[in-house]
Amino acid sequence: MTHAQSAQLKELVRYGILAPSSHNTQCWPFHLEEQAISILPDLSRRCPVVDPDGHHLYVSLGCAAENILQAAKAQGLSGQVTFDDMSNGAVRISFTPCEVEATPLFEAIAQRQCSRTEYDGQPLTPEELALLTAAGTGAGVRVVMLTQPDLMKTVLDYVVKGNTAQINNPAFVKELKSWIRFNNSEAEQKGDGLSVSTSGNPSLPRWLGNLIFPLIFKAQPENEKYARQIRSSAGIAVFVSEHDDRAHWIEVGRCYERFALQSTALGIRNALLNQPVEEAGLRPNFAKVLGLETGRPDLVVRFGRGPKMPGSLRRSPEAVLV
């Protein structure tokens, strides 16, 4: 590989790492090859409690793959994604030349964020909803858009059930806490994890954060916060895959990332509320009450217009190249 080719692929990795990942684990070393990038699963960054089957890890790899595909087009490269379930679990993107096209989705990559705040309660237009639906649909993955208040209330009921179960599970809380960055210097030093500032919470020294976290991270106030957030949203999107396997989880990630980029391009915010699909015991009933006759509900995403929140940090491209 020439120096110019490797510089071009590194530039694409720079866009890949801006993707969302579960708990901002950035569970993705990237390997550069001749005309290709492989995204490997970093099993040391898995979250076995919230993500026992590796679903979120592969959805995160799919999000990174989609960013790379969008950025590649802007450089005149068309990417082809392949996944071999029998090999090392890598998502491979190979490139061939194409017309240069800087899409609105590409332009949105650096602006996209999960905005964990209240939105303005206003509905979206049918055109906006149609654009989001188109962006969030893929091969064997559909997105169900819920805007009726009764259906959004049903989702809230399941968020509350899931959230209560998770907060009452010491293993879940321990895992979550290990990814919380209680202050800016901690967040900057690690370059990963959930910085408290992204949720609008104050910075604390680690010792104080450790002390306060169990006192404030309680089911009732968290559930009340989710109720306010859902009531302020224009709608909720549920991503559903036809088959419950890694190839489909990657496709879910690609669909969610396109949805998030399209919404960013339209000035619409989004945030995930995955409790109903993370708690495996709730998932079948959640699918049933929403009338989803087939498939696995993969992600639950609220959307609407609202303020921009502080951004989350990333490790450097050099730190994730292998």
Q: What residues make contact with ligand FMN under the rule CB under 6 A? A: 20-24, 56, 59-60, 63, 113-114, 116, 194, 271-274, 312
When CB distances to ligand FMN are compared, the closest residue is: 20
Cβ–Cβ under 8 Å, residues 283 and 239: no
Smallest distance, Å, CB 58 to ligand FMN?
A: 9
Nearer to ligand FMN, 77 or 135 (CB): 135
Nearer to ligand FMN, 22 or 75 (CB): 22
Nearer to ligand FMN, 14 or 94 (CB): 14
Contacts of 169 (CB under 8 A, 6+ apart): 49
Dig out the tokens for 284 from the structure.
Answer: 């079948």
Nearer to ligand FMN, 77 or 81 (CB): 81
Smallest distance, Å, CB 272 to ligand FMN?
A: 4
Give exposure, 99-122, as e/b (b: 16+ Cβ within 10 Å).
Answer: eeeeeebbebbeebbbbbbbbeee
Nearer to ligand FMN, 8 or 233 (CB): 233
Cβ–Cβ under 8 Å, residues 73 and 103: yes
Cβ–Cβ under 8 Å, residues 19 and 67: yes
Smallest distance, Å, CB 259 to ligand FMN?
A: 12
Adjacent-strand bridge partners of 30? 39, 321
Smallest distance, Å, CB 112 to ligand FMN?
A: 7
As a whole number of angstroms, the distance between CA 244 and CA 85 comes to 13
First to last CA, the chain: 15
Q: What is the DSSP secondary structure assignment for residue 3, as one 8-state letter?
A: H
Cite the DSSP H helix spans in the chain: 3-16, 55-74, 104-107, 126-135, 149-167, 170-179, 184-190, 206-216, 219-231, 246-265, 275-278, 283-289
Smallest distance, Å, CB 35 to ligand FMN?
A: 27
Nearer to ligand FMN, 73 or 116 (CB): 116
Nearer to ligand FMN, 204 or 309 (CB): 309
Smallest distance, Å, CB 8 to ligand FMN?
A: 24
| Helix (H/G/I), strand (E/B), else coil: 50 | coil
Smallest distance, Å, CB 56 to ligand FMN?
A: 4
